[in-house]
Chain A
Amino acid sequence: SYELTQPPSVSVSPGQTARITCSGDALPKQYAYWYQQKPGQAPVLVIYKDSERPSGIPERFSGSSSGTTVTLTISGVQAEDEADYYCQSADSSGTFSVFGGGTKLTVL
C-alpha cells in the first residue's frame, strides 16, 4: 500500500525556521496537504495544494514541493506552533487518500 514518510520529530528554538518533510512516490503527480493537530483537538488544515494557505492561517506557514518530497516551512516559529503535523495526499491515480505518520514539532 502507498505510504507517506515524515520524520517523527523536529525541534527548533522560538524565532527559528522549522522545516517538516513528507516523502512519497506519487507526490510528483499528486497535491499534498498539511494539518496541524494540538493535543486533544481535531486537525486543522494549514496548507492545501502543496503551497496554498487557507484564510486565517498565519503567513509564517508555507509549503513547497520538489520531486517526491513536499515540505512544510514555519518561519519565525512561535510557542503556539508546538503541535503534531500531518501530511496528506493520494495514490498516483487519485483514488485513495493517505496520511503521513506525523511529525511532532517541539519549540525549545
Chain B
Amino acid sequence: QITLKESGPTLVKPTQTLTLTCTFSGFSLSTSGVGVGWIRQPPGKALEWLALIYWDDDKRYSPSLKSRLTITKDTSKNQVVLTMTNMDPVDTATYYCAHTRLLWFGESGTNWFDPWGQGTLVTVSS
C-alpha cells in the first residue's frame, strides 16, 4: 500500500522561503519509472501542478513558477523536498504530494498522480 504525507510550516511570512517535505512508504524512488509530484490548491480554486522528480533525478517544474521552485529527493529516507522562495499571500494553498509513474509511448511520456497525500494547508501572512 502506497502512502504519502506532507509536512512543513502552516504559516510563513511574505518573502520567506517555504520548505515542504513529502515522506512516503510502499514504493522506492530508485525504481525505474517512479516519481513524486507536488500539486497545490488555493482555497476554493483549482489544482495547480508545481513540480515532480523521477527515479533518475529528472526534475520538471511548472514554467510559471520555475524560478522559485527546487525539488530534491532523498531515496534512503523515502523523502522528497520542495522549496519555494519569495512566498506571497497568493501562494496560500493546500499543498499535496503524490506518487507518479512515467510511461513512455512512442517518443513521448505521460504521467499521472496516484495516490495523493492528505495535503497540508500553508498560509502566507505577516
A residues with CB within 8 A of B:
1, 29-31, 33, 35, 37, 42-45, 48-49, 54, 86, 88, 90, 92-102
Chain B residues 89 to 126 lying within 8 A of chain A, measured CB to CB, are: 96, 103, 105, 108-119
Which residues does chain B contribute within 8 Å of A95, judged by CB atoms?
60
A1 lies within 8 A of B63 (CB)? yes
B39 lies within 8 A of A96 (CB)? no
How many residue pairs bridge A and B at CB < 8 Å? 71
User: Given A30-B110, A90-B110, is A102 in contact with B47 using a C-beta cutoff of 8 Å?
Assistant: yes
Which of B46, B49, B117 is close to A97, meaning CB atoms less than 8 Å apart?
B49
B residues with CB within 8 A of A:
37, 39, 46-49, 52, 60, 62-64, 96, 103, 105, 108-119
A86 lies within 8 A of B46 (CB)? yes
Q: Which of B62, B114, B117 has the most CB of A within 10 A?
A: B114
Which residues does chain B contribute within 8 Å of A37, judged by CB atoms?
47
A31 and B52 CA atoms in complex are apart in Å by 18
A101 and B110 CA atoms in complex are apart in Å by 20
4 extra A-B contacts, CB within 8 A, seeds A86-B47, A94-B109: A42-B115, A42-B118, A54-B114, A96-B63
A99 lies within 8 A of B39 (CB)? yes
Chain A at the B interface: mostly helix, strand, loop or mixed? loop
A93 and B106 CA atoms in complex are apart in Å by 11
A27 and B100 CA atoms in complex are apart in Å by 19
Which residues does chain B contribute within 8 Å of A29, judged by CB atoms?
108
A30 lies within 8 A of B108 (CB)? yes
Give chain B nearest CB distance to A15 CB in angstroms.
Answer: 29
B108 lies within 8 A of A93 (CB)? yes
Which of A42, A49, A92, A98 is close to B49, meaning CB atoms less than 8 Å apart?
A98
Which residues does chain B contribute within 8 Å of A1, judged by CB atoms?
63-64
Which residues does chain B contribute within 8 Å of A102, judged by CB atoms?
46-47
A48 and B87 CA atoms in complex are apart in Å by 33
Instruction: With CB as the reference atom, state the residue of chain A lying closest to B111.
Output: A97
Give chain B nearest CB distance to A96 CB in angstroms.
Answer: 6
